[in-house]
Amino acid sequence: MTTGRATLTVLTVLCLGITSWALASERDSVTTRVGNDLFLAGSDVRVTAGSPGDALLAGGWISTAGTVHGDEVATGGQLNLGADVDGGVYAAGGRVHLDGRVAHNARLAGGHVELGPQAEVQGGVSIGGGEVAVNGRVAKYLQIGAGRTRIDAPVGGDVEVASGQLTVGPHAVIDGALTYYGPQPADIDGGAQIRGGTHYIERKRWQRPGHHRAFGAASWVWLAGWVVAGGILSALWPQFIRQMSEVARGNSWVVLLLGFAVLVCVPVALLFLFVTIVGIPLALLLLLLYLLLLPLGYLAAAAVIGEWLLSRARGAAPRPTAERLLVLIGVLIVLFLLTRIPVLGGTLRFLLIVAGIGSLVMTGALRQRGETAMATPT
């Protein structure tokens, strides 16, 4: 967003529009508009005519075309983002392919991320992923953190890469400097042009320190903390966990979209409140709640998975607290191991937090309105 008015508009859309829409929906695939802004969630999401405002999307498979006259925000399994965007692009998923024109910045994360040959980002680009390929034009800076990286396109500013492997192709023209952190020097084609020079900072033990930190003493203490918190949650609020699981299973894509919206809009709200000066006390309270919501989202996702496993094993039979706790501990241990996998672990952790936040917010709002039954799967 480029102005305070636009920021306030997006904040209102994200925090109010999507919440009321999500609570009113019982379908697996939903579409709605709030003013000029498009909200779309489902297993197969297709935007063929763009959007007169922002586009907020969540789905297993997402494809966009036309022109989005605001920002484009997307999360899901496979994202093919071909729309021209007058604002910025914020996307996370298993595979992210950006192949349109972007007037401002692009922030991308995923297992495989690519800027296609038709992509043209007029601002800066920040990417985090397992494999990253930059084949489209970037007008300003480029920042990358990845397992493997290939750059083969013009970049108008500095490039900073932290990667296990970096290849610079013959079509790369970097107007600024290339700074590379990695275990061996970059493989730079003779036809590539790097006008600001290359700065290589060696990191021989690229993988091993990460593994040591992932399974160090602090990480096991962290796991023990999750187990204790999960035990408290299971003992004190078993009914809430059951209802949260029903909400998540009955509205999976809506929950994911809602969680992503909350994750994005709260920092915007904080910034707006801090700028107003008089809103600083409220901003501090909101910041505290936001920091608390992040770990609660992860724990809520684990509880939903545990409840789902119990429902598969026992059906509608009563579930003793001790049994629910044992299953939750098992889920937390499995997730602890999975989230330690390089690159993919970070993506999994992000998706768990997003889904958990969405489940918490939607279940809490439904309970407040006394409408939890509407989210129960049929």
* Nearby residues of 226 by Cβ (< 8 Å), 6 or more positions away: 298, 299, 302, 332, 336
Mean pLDDT: which of 21-30, 151-160, 224-233, 257-266 is highest?
151-160
Contact in structure between 55 and 31 (CB atoms under 8 Å): no
- pLDDT at position 168 is 97
- pLDDT at position 372 is 43
Q: Which residue has the higher pLDDT, 154 or 17?
A: 154
Express each pLDDT in 122-134 by its tens digit. 999 999 878 899 9
Q: What is the mean pLDDT of the chain?
A: 77
| Residue tagged 């992503």 (tokens) | 260
The yes-or-no verdict on residue 184 having pLDDT over 70 is: yes
Q: How large is the average pLDDT for residues 151-157?
A: 97
The yes-or-no verdict on residue 58 having pLDDT over 50 is: yes
- pLDDT at position 176 is 96
Q: How large is the average pLDDT for residues 83-102?
A: 90
- 19, 56, 15: which is closest to 37 by C-alpha? 56
Residue 114, φ and ψ in degrees, nearest 5: -140, 135
- pLDDT at position 120 is 96
Percentage of residues of the chain with pLDDT beyond 70:
71
Comparing 104-108, 207-211, 287-291, 360-364, which segment has the lowest mean pLDDT?
Answer: 207-211
Q: What distances in angstroms separate CA 111 from CA 96, 105, 187, 341, 348, one per listed residue?
A: 8, 20, 22, 12, 10
Contact in structure between 150 and 134 (CB atoms under 8 Å): yes
- Cα dihedral value 185, 188, 193, 195, nearest 10: 0
Q: How large is the average pLDDT for residues 158-173?
A: 94
Buried b (16+ CB within 10 A) or exposed e, 204-228: eebeeeeeeeeeeeeeeeebeebee
| Residue tagged 């300003």 (tokens) | 140
Q: How large is the average pLDDT for residues 15-31?
A: 44
- pLDDT at position 18 is 41
The yes-or-no verdict on residue 154 having pLDDT over 50 is: yes
Q: Which residue has the higher pLDDT, 298 or 266?
A: 298
Comparing 15-29, 37-51, 341-355, which segment has the lowest mean pLDDT?
Answer: 15-29
- pLDDT at position 246 is 80
- pLDDT at position 189 is 95
Task: Enumerate the domain spans of the chain.
Answer: 58-205, 211-375
Residue 129 CA, chain-centre distance (Å), reads 12
- pLDDT at position 347 is 77
Comparing 75-89, 220-234, 255-269, which segment has the lowest mean pLDDT?
Answer: 220-234
Structure tokens at 176: 């600024």
Q: What distances in angstroms separate CA 69 from CA 9, 89, 100, 311, 373, one per listed residue?
A: 14, 11, 13, 44, 37
Q: What is the pTM of this model?
A: 0.58
Q: How large is the average pLDDT for residues 233-252?
A: 75
| Residue tagged 């907020």 (tokens) | 56
H or E stretch covering 268: helix 252-275
Residue 104: other Cβ atoms inside 10 A? 17
| Residue tagged 């901003």 (tokens) | 283
